[in-house]
Amino acid sequence: MTAHLNIEVIIFNQVARFCRNLLKNNSDICSTEDLKLNVITRQEHNISRKDLSDNALKVLYRLSNAGYDAYLVGGGVRDILLGQEPKDFDIATNATPEQIKKLFRNCRLIGRRFRLAHILFGRDVIEVATFRGHHKEDNEKKNISAQSDEGMLLRDNVYGTVEEDAERRDFTVNAMYYNIADYSIHDYANGIEDLKNGIIRLIGDPETRYREDPVRMLRAVRFAAKLDMTICDKTAAPIAELSPLLRDIPAARLFEESLKLLQTGNGLNTYWMLRDFNLFQQLFPVLTPFLTEEGNSPAEQMIELVLRSTDKRINSGKRVNPAFMFAAMLWYPLTAKAQEIQDDNPKFDHYESIMEASNLILDTQVRSTAIPRRLTATIRDIWQLQLRLPRRTGKRAFVLIEQQKFRAAYDFLEMRGKVEGGETKDLCDWWTEFQDAPAPHRNNMVQNLNGGRRSGGPRKRRSPYRKKKRANNDS
């Protein structure tokens, strides 16, 4: 009886949330002119100092005791209100970066477009930002604020008040400030209501905000997928058309964003949302020709397999290697390019074609998302091992299984087997059995490949000279 009631409650809540979303989704955009402070007292919210890290509290209290305003802001407030554990604790204050540095000996100032203070506690980093102001380029601010012809912010070291900072926030659910002075929440954009209703809504005119920073389009998708929310219609409307603006974003920044999108436990859902908004195609242009309406090409099947596996590992608390994900996602563009090379150059063998194609595919991808060299080296290793895995005769199988990257290569082969079937699946089954087999059985498996010969390879023939010399000695 209780189970039935719980199911009914869940269904009712889902229906109620869907209906609220329909009503809210068609409401006006959150204009910066309409921002109004709503103070939520300590008794009216669920955030406790116990929810904050000790290091975040140290920073908040030291700023406050020094006479500065100090707020926990953004994702930290949002996640605690949702009952989730925050990944980061970001702090906003009216103290300038230089003033912050004087308060903390363990402070490092970073950033060119906007100066930030990082307070270092070993590996734990608390980011502190000075309230941002409006970036109108007048005579006084022209040296600290600049925009491109397309409206993108190039330089943004403009400081302001907490009200101006709230206007500069991207989404309403990120414009809530937890005040350490009285433990209240200052909500400037009605973010608490959007949070309750599951709505991701931009503050200000969406097209203008996206042109200021095109990465906001990626953030909208990431928050919607991560928090299981809906992107407001007017926030979503310009994304597909403006998605090519991502090409102007530094490739290093897009690499970091790609990890946040695909390696935080919601990668598969995020992938489908990115595709719907034409954003995935900007991040991975080499994959665009392999995307179909049906979504069942070998490349698409591989993307789903690797992202589903990545989500499972992350949600189980296991570590993941970004190189494995990229190696799997780019495999079919690699093999297609290798075939083109071999068709154009008949003298190239399969190995040479794959090696040449790997250079071309990675060079193209790195221009969009700057995958570091340490990862591209691992990607190449995983690809190269795919060519060696079929070669198991003699001592090759015994040597190969001891390779450092063997496990990653095997896991990838297993995914290929699920996509390709046939010989690839048979090869994967052989390696699956070989890994777990005792030594005698391993030898038998290799002997069967060798046509019954010993795994050590063909027996060497004794030279006629040595044979004749031994006969003379015997006589």
For 89, the token pair is 């604790």
Q: Which parts of the chain sit beneath pLDDT 70?
A: 1-34, 113, 135-157, 451-475
Fold of 204-283: Hydrophobic Seed Protein (1.10.110)
Domain 34-136+146-197, classified CATH 3.30.300.30, yes or no: no
Catalytically annotated residue among 51, 79, 156, 170 = 170
pLDDT at 474: 55
Decide if 129 contacts 91 (C-beta within 8 A): yes
Catalytically annotated residue among 88, 205, 233, 381 = 88
Decide if 257 contacts 248 (C-beta within 8 A): no
Longest CA–CA span in the chain (Å) reads 112
User: How is the chain split into domains, by residue range?
Assistant: 34-136+146-197, 204-283, 314-449
pLDDT at 466: 53
Task: Note the pLDDT tens digit of each residue in 111-159.
Answer: 876 789 999 999 999 999 999 987 554 444 444 444 545 544 444 568 8
pLDDT at 247: 95
pLDDT at 138: 47
194 is catalytic: no
pLDDT at 35: 84
54 is catalytic: no
> Does this chain's domain 34-136+146-197 share its CATH topology with 314-449?
no
pLDDT at 15: 39
Which long-range contacts (C-beta less than 8 Å, at least 24 apart) are formed by 206-209?
206/29, 206/234, 206/235, 206/237, 206/238, 207/238, 207/242, 208/151, 209/170
Please state, in angstroms and rounded to a whole number, the distance separating the CA atoms of residues 71 and 401.
54
Catalytically annotated residue among 90, 156, 165, 194 = 90
Task: Note the pLDDT tens digit of each residue in 336-364.
Answer: 999 999 999 888 888 999 999 999 999 99
170 is catalytic: yes
CATH fit for domain 314-449, picks 1.10.3090.10, 2.40.110.10, 3.40.50.12280, 2.40.30.10: 1.10.3090.10
Please state, in angstroms and rounded to a whole number, the distance separating the CA atoms of residues 172 and 28.
13
